[in-house]
Amino acid sequence: MTTLNHKTRQWSYFSLYFIWIALFVIAPVALIIYQSFFGLDHQLTLANYKNYLSSAVYLKMTLNSFVYAFLITLITLVISYPTAYFLTKLKHRQLWILLIILPTWINLLLKAYAFIGIFSQTGAVNHFLTFMGIGPQQILFTNTSFVLVAAYIQIPFMILPIYNSLVDIDPAVIQASHDLGANNFQTLWRVIFPISINGVRSGVQAVFIPSLSLFMITRLIGGNRVITLGTAIEEHFLTTMNWGMGSTIGVILILIMFLTMTLTSGTRKAGTRKNHGKA
Amino acid sequence: MKRFGIFAAIILIVSALLGLGVHALNKASGQDNASKTLTIFNWGDYIDPALITKFEKETGYQVKYETFDSNEAMFTKIQQGGTAYDIAIPSDYMIEKMHKASLLLPLDPKKIKGLQNIEPQFLNQSFDPNNRYSVPYFWGTLGIIYNDQYVKAGEIDHWSDLWAPKWQNKLMLVDSARDIMGMALVESGYSMNSKSPQQLRQAADQLNRLAPNVKAVVADEIKMYMIAGEAPVAVTWSGEAAEMLANNDHLHYVVPSEGSNLWFDNIVMPKTAVHKKAAYAFINFMLRPENAAQNAQYIGYATPNKKAQALLPKAVREDKQFYPDSQTMKNLEVYQDLGPKWVEVYNDLFLEFKMHN
Amino acid sequence: MAKHKHWGGRLYLIFAFALLYTPILYLIYYSFSSGTNMSTFKGFTLSHYQTLFSDSRLIVILLDTLLIALLSSLVATIVGTMGALGIHTLKQRKLQNFILSLNNILMVSPDVIIGASFLILFTTLGIALGFGSVLASHIAFSIPIVVLLVLPRLKEMNGSMVDAARDLGANRWQILSKVILPYILPSIFSGFFMALTYSLDDFAVTFFVTGNGFATLSVEIYSRARQGINLEINALSAIMFIFSILLIVGYYFINQYTQSRRNKRQRGGAYLQ
């Protein structure tokens, strides 16, 4: 009687949640894999994969996406780590960390839009360059501006996990390190950094995967001179209507995602921030 | 538990209020369902709103106006059939494609008044022989727009001029596989509807050589960037160009005489049409010279209605930029629906070009 | 030594914050310019705000965006909490972990994949794209975060509390509503707020699954930003910035409240862990 009761209770908890898992987790992944085996003529085929693997364009695009995602992650990390570190030293840390979060609440489209103004021929940066006597430069629609804007948008998502791992460090550990004769640098490199490595891992996951699949910024800031896997998926689904090929690239992206997760997940559980709103 | 219940109730009440607000606002802007309505599916900002008001007053129909921003998006919506669109205004090749997909209703010639107002050269096109399914709305070309602060007159008259090293990193292109591949095909001396792999390969190679000059491949954005003087040269459609010219006196538009695209946006009645009588009334209303002329003045596109052309100011109807001479007109080509396989080839080559650095 | 280091740190933080806020303030600054572009400030005006408030299409979109956000967060919170309760009652570790990894798939998938696969899903099911499909998608991608926020709180709960309630003769429903739910309520609220953030912040998923003229703010901004610089958008960002500040203050207080009620051990972040 009790076991039966227990079972029914479990099921009542689970019913809606299971429907969700079936409908919005399993079904979409299954469908995208299924779709990737269909050509334009709605025939079952491996042509999309053959096309992908034999096309210099797609392979180069994959490589490019990797390079860009790597650069974006690296820049983000270099800027974020010291920020997170110094934040832990502040008095009203809770408040400051909220101020780091605040920009993520501004829609990223608006931020991209701001950069169109800042980087344009007559924008703030070029005003400054002209003032310095260098003269206006082409900034918008360059690879550099694309990487910078993407990194800008990702910064808070890198700071947070690193900050969380740094703030957990017991001050006694640092004290102990000093007592044992380590200088500041040694303490940072030998003690603090290893402890915060899990935060860095989460941050890298949270930034690298979405960076692989950016699509909106490639257009607004990169002027479509930068094409990532995300751009290609978006084009195939919404412009050229070749869902089969779009799904194929999607499946490849999913594979890369799992690979990245496996490589970066140490002891800690998978990424805690949704890669949200960043494509 | 109780607190969450109260919280949930508050959220639901707020949601209901928001929903009511949306409903009220939609109603205020005339989007509700009345029986005597006409639902038009058109490009954004592609009709003089005063004409809609005039039509409503004259006929008593209430117009619901919905917009799309690409032929493909429109195709998908009509195919899905969620909304009862009575009128749609797709472009040439799309009309052919919709016809092939049985998404169009044939027009009854007896119910259409004023087709003779249309210039004969714009009727009976390959995409719709004898205009069984469509009536011309606007037409235009693909061409080059430049800013005379950076480009001397006569410096850019032909497609080949764009390849000059002088324009390194200066050129903006529309993000459209068909148009840019078409441009490269013409430049290589072939038809814009080419289905020859060799010709396409050659055109693609030629296009890849253009890559150093290309600053960005975008679409609507070209308008703002050209007006702001961000780029000196761009390849775009005449309709877009008209709007840019109106906002910046330094801009000029040329249609290369060796050939380019001639496009049409025609009025059709999709399968989803319910209010057919209203649809015919609208087609006839737009065929009337005074209305077509008013619309052309408002939008700035070229009208196929010759009686309407006569009503336009001389400076407009003799503007070579938008009403090219017969010599150029002869070299213009209308896009055909190439079928999914060839469209894919065009798309792949265009993607290759975008990736080319 | 410490002082010296502090200086460097402070300077660096000033740099970091300036970096984060410059674009946003740049937008807001030009929302008051009477010019037409973002390169020269032409003189103070509020006219862009006036245009904004009389733009009924934009206001409809704003209301729709809020409606989607509130409804989707509410449903996601309920389903997610039920899911967390369900997972918690499971005895086998392995099964728990398996369900959790399914749960996390949507957390780590790039937006493009979520958007594209949902688009295939809706098309396969024959669901018309529009309000319904956008709402369903927002609910779907918000559920996992609710589960991830509620579950740890359930784990923290002392089992003896439930036992005590049972000993006192409470039935299952009473245990749930009188003991468990009040205890996990703060995490349910955090879940709701995170879901709200996801929904308001989303662009890519909505971009894929919307249709029939329905748009949320981000989708609308995308199409307007492509039309050209329009300072009405700047005015909109200023208002959204203020709105965000209000939301974050709300979140801050809820979080403070959570913390004060929570036992000692709570990891530092105000955001999710």
**Poorest-pLDDT segment among A79-83, B274-278, C186-190, C228-232:** C228-232
Question: What is the mean pLDDT of the segment spanning C168-191?
Answer: 85
Domain at A55-264: CATH architecture: Orthogonal Bundle (1.10)
Q: What confidence score (pLDDT) does residue B108 get?
A: 94
Closest CA to C228 of A113, A34, B111, B338: A113
Q: Which residues of C touch B11 (CB under 8 A)?
A: 70-71, 73-74
The fold adopted by the segment(s) C56-261 is MetI-like fold (1.10.3720)
User: Is residue A205 within 8 Å of A164, Cβ to Cβ?
Assistant: no
From residue A119, give the alpha-carbon distance in Å to each of A24, A116, A141, B217, C39.
40, 5, 9, 17, 10
Q: What confidence score (pLDDT) does residue A6 get?
A: 61
Nearest CB neighbour to C105, from listed A25, A96, A103? A25
DSSP B171-184: EEEES-HHHHHHHH
Three-state SS letters, B77-130:
HHHHCCCCCCEECCEHHHHHHHHHCCCECCCCHHHCCCHHHECHHHCCCCCCHH
- Count of CB atoms situated within 10 Å of the CB of B168: 11
Based on its alpha-carbon atoms, the radius of gyration of chain B, rounded to whole angstroms, reads: 23
Contact C222 A109 (CB under 8 A): yes
Q: What confidence score (pLDDT) does residue A272 get?
A: 44
**How far is the first Cα of chain B from the last one, in angstroms, to the nearest whole number?**
60
Write down the CATH number for the domain with range B140-262+324-355.
Answer: 3.40.190.10
- Count of CB atoms situated within 10 Å of the CB of A227: 23
User: Is residue B163 within 8 Å of B184, Cβ to Cβ?
Assistant: no
CA distance A183 to C193: 43
The DSSP symbol for A24 reads: I
Determine the distance in angstroms separating the CA of A54 from the nearest CA of chain C, rounded to an integer.
23
User: Is residue B303 within 8 Å of B285, Cβ to Cβ?
Assistant: no
Beta bridge partners of A151: none
* Amino acid identity, position A95: L
Give residues with Cβ within 8 angstroms of C48, minimum separation 6. C31, C32, C231, C232, C234, C235
Q: Give per-residue pLDDT as tens, C249-271.
A: 777 777 677 666 654 444 433 34
Is the CB of A85 inside 8 Å of chain B's CB atoms? no
CA distance C165 to B92: 74
Q: What confidence score (pLDDT) does residue C15 get?
A: 93
Domain at B10-138+264-317: CATH architecture: 3-Layer(aba) Sandwich (3.40)
* A191 three-state secondary structure: helix
DSSP C148-211: HHHHHHHHHS-HHHHHHHHHTT--HHHIIIIIIHHHHHHHHHHHHHHHHHHHHH--HHHHHH--
Is the CB of C120 inside 8 Å of chain B's CB atoms? no
CA distance A149 to A108: 10
* B233 three-state secondary structure: strand
User: Is residue A197 within 8 Å of A168, Cβ to Cβ?
Assistant: no
CA distance B311 to B317: 9
Name the residue in chain C with its Cα closest to that of A203. Answer: C273
CA B203, B204, B206, B211: dihedral to nearest 10 degrees? 150
* Amino acid identity, position C48: H
CA distance A168 to A195: 9
Q: Give per-residue pLDDT as tens, A113-169.
A: 899 889 988 888 888 888 888 888 888 899 999 999 999 999 998 998 999 889 878
Nearest CB neighbour to B218, from listed A64, A224, A227? A224
Torsions phi, psi for B81 (to 5 deg) = 70, 25
Question: What is the mean pLDDT of the segment spanning C206-234?
Answer: 83
From residue A163, give the alpha-carbon distance in Å to each of A189, A193, B7, B357, C11.
16, 12, 32, 39, 18
Q: Tokens 């919506």 identify what position? A: B77
B134-147 and B233-237 as β-strands: parallel, antiparallel, unpaired? antiparallel
Q: Give per-residue pLDDT as tens, B109-163.
A: 999 999 999 999 999 999 999 999 999 999 999 999 999 999 998 899 999 999 9
User: Is residue C229 within 8 Å of C37, Cβ to Cβ?
Assistant: yes
Q: What confidence score (pLDDT) does residue C2 get?
A: 47
User: Is residue A32 within 8 Å of C114, Cβ to Cβ?
Assistant: no
CA distance A202 to A212: 16
Is the CB of A61 inside 8 Å of chain B's CB atoms? yes
Low-confidence stretches of chain A (pLDDT < 70) are 1-11, 266-279
Beta-strand runs (E) in chain B = 37-43, 62-68, 87-88, 134-147, 171-174, 214-218, 233-237, 251-254, 260-268, 332-333
Q: Which C residues 68-107 touch A at CB under 8 Å? A: 78-80, 82-83, 85-86, 89-90, 99, 101-107
Q: What confidence score (pLDDT) does residue A9 get?
A: 62
Contact C121 A31 (CB under 8 A): yes
CA distance C239 to C246: 11
3-state helix, strand, coil in chain A (%, to 5): 75, 0, 25
Determine the distance in angstroms separating the CA of A38 from the nearest CA of chain B, rounded to an integer.
14
Is the CB of A241 inside 8 Å of chain B's CB atoms? yes
Q: Which residues of C touch B216 (CB under 8 A)?
A: none
Q: Tokens 């032909």 identify what position? A: B158
Please tell me the total number of residues recorded for chain C in this structure: 273
Name the residue in chain B with its Cα closest to that of A52. Answer: B348
Identify the H or E element spanning B52: helix B49-59
Chain C: partners with 3+ C-beta pairs within 8 Å: A, B
User: Is residue B211 within 8 Å of B357, Cβ to Cβ?
Assistant: yes
Q: What confidence score (pLDDT) does residue B23 get?
A: 80
pLDDT band at C210 (very low <50, low <70, confident <90, very high): confident
Q: Where along chain C do its domains lie?
A: 56-261
Determine the distance in angstroms separating the CA of B14 from the nearest CA of chain C, rounded to an integer.
8
CA distance C204 to C207: 5
Instruction: Give the distance, in angstroms, between the CA of residue C156 and the centroid of all CA atoms in the same chain.
Output: 24
User: Is residue C184 within 8 Å of C157, Cβ to Cβ?
Assistant: yes
Q: Where along chain A do its domains lie?
A: 55-264
| Whether the predicted pLDDT of C4 surpasses 60 | no
Closest CA to B64 of B36, B91, B89: B36
Q: Give per-residue pLDDT as tens, B251-273.
A: 999 999 999 999 999 999 999 89
Q: Give per-residue pLDDT as tens, C58-74.
A: 888 888 998 999 999 99
Give residue ranges of B with CB < 8 Å to any A CB: 70, 72-73, 76, 169, 172, 175, 177, 214-218, 221, 228-230, 340-341, 343-344, 347-348, 351-352, 354-355, 357
From residue B24, give the alpha-carbon distance in Å to each of B28, B29, B36, C216, C248.
6, 9, 20, 18, 30
Contact B72 A64 (CB under 8 A): no
Q: What confidence score (pLDDT) does residue A108 get?
A: 81
Contact A220 C225 (CB under 8 A): yes
The DSSP symbol for B216 reads: E
More confident residue, C154 or B194: B194
CA distance A236 to B25: 36
Name the residue in chain A with its Cα closest to that of B218. Answer: A223
Torsions phi, psi for C55 (to 5 deg) = -90, 95
CA distance B162 to B171: 8
From residue B211, give the alpha-carbon distance in Å to each of A54, B173, C153.
23, 11, 56
Helices (H) and strands (E) in chain B, counts: 14, 10
Q: What confidence score (pLDDT) does residue B310 get?
A: 93
CA distance B287 to B305: 7
Name the residue in chain A with its Cα closest to that of B351. Answer: A57
Share of chain B above pLDDT 90, in %: 66
The DSSP symbol for B163 reads: G
User: Is residue B32 within 8 Å of B8, Cβ to Cβ?
Assistant: no
User: Is residue C33 within 8 Å of C45, Cβ to Cβ?
Assistant: yes
ipTM: 0.84
CA distance B183 to B191: 10
Share of chain B above pLDDT 70, in %: 97
User: Is residue C31 within 8 Å of C237, Cβ to Cβ?
Assistant: yes
Q: Where along chain B do its domains lie?
A: 10-138+264-317, 140-262+324-355
Q: Which C residues 109-168 touch A at CB under 8 Å? A: 109-121, 124, 136, 140-141, 143-145, 147-148
Low-confidence stretches of chain B (pLDDT < 70) are 1, 28-35, 82
| Mutation target among A12, A99, A113, A121 for the C interface, most CBs of C within 10 A | A113
| Mutation target among C36, C54, C60 for the B interface, most CBs of B within 10 A | C60
- Count of CB atoms situated within 10 Å of the CB of A163: 29
* Amino acid identity, position B345: V
More confident residue, C90 or B115: B115
Name the residue in chain A with its Cα closest to that of B211. Answer: A225
Nearest CB neighbour to C74, from listed B11, B29, B66? B11
Q: Which two tokens stand for residue B124?
A: 């009976």
* B63 three-state secondary structure: strand
Beta bridge partners of B198: none
Give residues with Cβ within 8 angstroms of B22, minimum separation 6. C60, C63, C64, C67
